Structure formats: structure tokens, C-alpha cells
Amino acid sequence: MATQEGVIDLSSVIYDVDPVVMVPLGLLILVLTASLPKSHRLSLRDSLVAFWYLFNGIIIHIFLDGLVGFARRVPFLFSLYCTLDKRYEHAESAVMMISITELLIMGPLCIFLYYGYHRNKSWRAPLELVVCAIQIFGTIVFTGSEIWEGFPHIPTDFEMTFEQDKVIFFWVFFVAANALWLLLPLRLLLTAFHEVNAAMLATRPATRGSSSKAKKSTKKSTSKKAD
């Protein structure tokens, strides 16, 4: 990695890089190429939400939790995963199932959601309901199983020492990040539910009472015209 003069050998660094790190960049280029041309004009809120799904799909679900956490690619990042949560090191079954679900299902679905936002697709809100529900369920299983067992796999900091490693691995990655991935999908799920509900109400056929009243009013108007 370094020469005798202490200078880093860049060629060795390049050769040591796992080619899987190119996956997020390649996916990002493909998604932007497919989505942005003829893109629907989004509000600031929808633009941020669409970016949230793109970030989740490519960076979190496919690359980090999928290729690094499950497939154990990129040794440096995988060692950080093992420091954060020993369940990755021991390939604990629940965490592995969550990770492979993220890689094969959640990642592509989040990318489709980003596309759906930018192309104003009618299936966007129903798909958002499904994605948010799975994200909430996965976060509950991931954190709940560790809490249930008494935190045997993560570096806790209940004594409030706020040491640097414990602040990063416990308070930031475990507490704050999991809270974000629980509360934000819940908020997006409720918004998508109201959108789907409003669309269903708008397409609901008129009731018999209202239709009969409409017919009577039409008959009265036609009879008046005849008179």
C-alpha cells in the first residue's frame, strides 16, 4: 500500500478496490437516464421524497445492506457493519433475510417509486403503500429482535458515557437511523393512503338514491321544456 518513502501507492489502492462499488454509480446513471427525460414537474416536497426513495433503493438497500451486509463485499465496509452489529458477522438468520429482501425486492421497488414520481404514474401511491409497510416491518423486526434479546450484538451506551465509538455506532446508527427509518416511512405511508383513498372515492359510482334524484330532476326539467 505504501512505498519506502511513505507515499501511498495509488495503483495498489485501485487494484484493492472491490468492483462492486461501481454498482451504485451504474444504477444511478441508468435510473436518471430513464426518469429525467420528459420528467413530470415535481413540487419541492415530492422531489425530496423521490430522492429519499432513490437513496434508499441504490445506496441503502442494494449497496450497503445488500451487497455489503449480506454478500460481504467491500471488506472495509463489511468490517464496519460487523462492528456496528455482530449479527452481520455471525450471519444471523433474521438479519440476513431482511438484507436479502432489501437487495432483491426493496431496492428495485424504491427505484420504481422514484421513476413513478418523476413520470407521474398512477401506480405510484399504491406501490408507496407497499414499500413503506415493508420498510416499517423490517425496521421493527431488525431493532425489536435486538431489544428483545437484551442488546447482545451492538455496542450500547445506556450509561450515557458518549464515547466517540458509542455515539457513532449506538446513538447515531442504531437509535437515530432506525427511528428515522421507522417514522418517515410511517408518515409517507399515511400520505399515500390518503391519496389512494381520495382516488377511490373519486371513481366510486353514484348511489341509487342520488342517481334516482338525478333522474327525477332531469325528467322535471324536460317536462318544463315541453310545456
**Which residues of the chain are modeled with pLDDT < 50?**
1-15, 210, 214, 221-222, 224-227
**Domain spans, the chain:** 20-33+43-201
Q: Which residues contact 62 (CB under 8 A, 6 or more apart)?
A: 23, 24, 27, 102, 103, 107
**Among 172, 146, 9, 161, which residue's Cα sits nearest to residue 90?**
146
Distance of alpha carbon 6 from the chain centroid: 43
Q: What is the pTM of this model?
A: 0.80
For residue range 28-57, what is the model confidence (pLDDT) as tens digits? 888 888 887 777 889 999 999 999 999 999
For residue range 62-84, what is the model confidence (pLDDT) as tens digits? 999 999 999 999 888 999 999 99
Q: In Å, what is the CA distance from 135 to each residue of 55, 94, 158, 182, 188? A: 14, 15, 26, 7, 11
What pLDDT shows up at residue 39? 78
What pLDDT shows up at residue 183? 97
Count Cα neighbours of 10 within 13 Å in the Cβ-side half-sphere: 0
Read off the amino acid at residue 24. P
Sign of the C-alpha dihedral, residues 39, 41, 44, 45?
negative
Coil, strand, or helix at residue 118? helix
For residue range 91-101, what is the model confidence (pLDDT) as tens digits? 999 999 999 99
N residues, the chain: 227
Q: Which residues contact 42 (CB under 8 A, 6 or more apart)?
A: 50, 117, 118
